[in-house]
Amino acid sequence: MSIDIALFSALRGLVADRLFADVAPENTPRPYITYQQVGGDAVNFVENTIPSKKNARMQINVWADTRLQATAMGGAVEDALRTLIALQPTVLGAAIATYDEETKLRGTRQDFSLWI
């Protein structure tokens, strides 16, 4: 299973399938979620063998019309990802509030370490 499929499966119900890699299409109804991989921990073995899992540091962004809606949705995302035991989730810090001047949307972003 890819990280994209795992995230879509875990988060799609929160936003009626409005979950997109990198950026959302123009005029997407709110709220919606975007995500991107922003690194991860490399696994290297002395024996030069291939690891059975790879780590991904994923940044999850929630976009909404109001701060309250963005904050609530961000909390729901964190709760949903914490329950994905198979991905060994680690929350890498608290959510950060953001505002997009161009779209006038409120958002949150938060990083998670996931193993796939």
pLDDT in tens, 31-80: 999 999 999 998 888 888 998 999 999 999 999 999 999 999 999 999 99
DSSP state of 86: G
CA distance 20 to 12: 10
Q: What is the pLDDT of residues 78-107, one digit of tens each?
A: 999 999 999 999 999 999 999 999 999 999
Q: Which CATH number fits domain 3-115: 3.30.2000.10, 3.30.70.980, 3.40.140.10, 3.10.20.90?
A: 3.30.2000.10
Backbone torsions φ then ψ of 12, nearest 5 degrees: -60, -35
Could you identify the residue written with the tokens 């997009």?
100
Q: Where are the domains of the chain?
A: 3-115
DSSP state of 36: E
Backbone torsions φ then ψ of 101, nearest 5 degrees: -60, -40
Q: What is the pLDDT of residues 7-45, one digit of tens each?
A: 999 999 999 999 999 999 999 999 999 999 999 998 888
- List the alpha helices (DSSP H) in 1-116: 3-11, 67-82
